[in-house]
């Protein structure tokens, strides 16, 4: 019983954070707001997540896992790079078609700690596809996939009208 309550509380925190990140943006959201929306206290927030960036990483990972689920259910047989590029294309499409997600992605991609974790998630996804095929990605594939990950925030910013390096996107650009 205790375990299921913890899973429920953690899920409520992630749901509340996702809603707030999409509604008002990652930067404008506070841990206190997440706690209030999740109907939990700040102490429990800190028990499940060290900080807001960790919550954002979890939200991002959930989205990436959703892409993996779509790819896994499709009857596709492309190579490792193609699987990763397909996954990246799905994410870019979501960024450009969903302003709330696009803003969330754009904002977290500018946070050093979150950016490092996103790169780790991307590497994990790439390695997952490589291991599934029983291969190891060569340096060209790693470079190509890392390059895609590096330019995606700039593409999202450009298409939505956010100038490069803008710390906080405005409503006009997102």
Cβ–Cβ < 8 Å for 157, 166: yes
Q: Which two tokens stand for residue 79?
A: 């190579």
Cα R_g (the chain), whole angstroms = 17
Place of tokens 């990140």: 21
Predicted confidence at residue 134, as pLDDT, reads 67
Which pLDDT value is given to residue 76? Answer: 60
What's the confidence (pLDDT) of residue 129?
A: 65
How many Å apart are CA 105 and CA 22, to the nearest integer?
Answer: 10
Confidence at residue 133, expressed as pLDDT on a 0 to 100 scale? 66
Tell me how far CA of residue 52 lies from CA of 19, 31, 58, 105, 150, in angstroms.
Answer: 14, 6, 10, 14, 22
Look up the pTM and report it. Answer: 0.77
Kindly list the averaged pLDDT for each block of 10 residues, start to end, along the chain of length 174: 78 96 94 96 91 93 81 64 75 88 88 77 70 67 72 80 56 54
Q: Residue 19's pLDDT is what?
A: 97
- pLDDT value at residue 10: 94
Place of tokens 């490069």: 164
């Amino acid at each position: 019983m205790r375990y299921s309550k913890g899973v429920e509380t953690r899920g409520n925190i992630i749901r509340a954070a996702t809603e707030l990140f999409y509604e008002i943006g990652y930067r404008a959201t506070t841990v206190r707001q997440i706690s209030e929306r999740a109907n939990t206290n700040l102490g429990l927030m800190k028990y499940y997540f060290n900080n807001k960036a960790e919550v954002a990483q979890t939200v991002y990972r959930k989205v990436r896992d959703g892409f993996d689920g779509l790819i896994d259910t499709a009857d596709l047989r492309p190579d490792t790079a193609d699987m990763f590029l397909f996954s990246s294309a799905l994410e870019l499409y979501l960024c450009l078609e969903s302003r709330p997600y696009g803003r969330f992605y754009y904002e977290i991609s500018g946070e050093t700690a979150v950016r490092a974790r996103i790169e780790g998630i991307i590497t994990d996804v790439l390695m997952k596809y490589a291991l599934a095929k029983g291969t190891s990605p060569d340096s060209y594939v790693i470079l190509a996939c890392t390059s895609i990950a590096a330019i995606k925030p700039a593409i999202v910013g450009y298409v939505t009208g956010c100038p490069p390096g803008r710390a906080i996107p405005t409503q006009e650009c997102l």
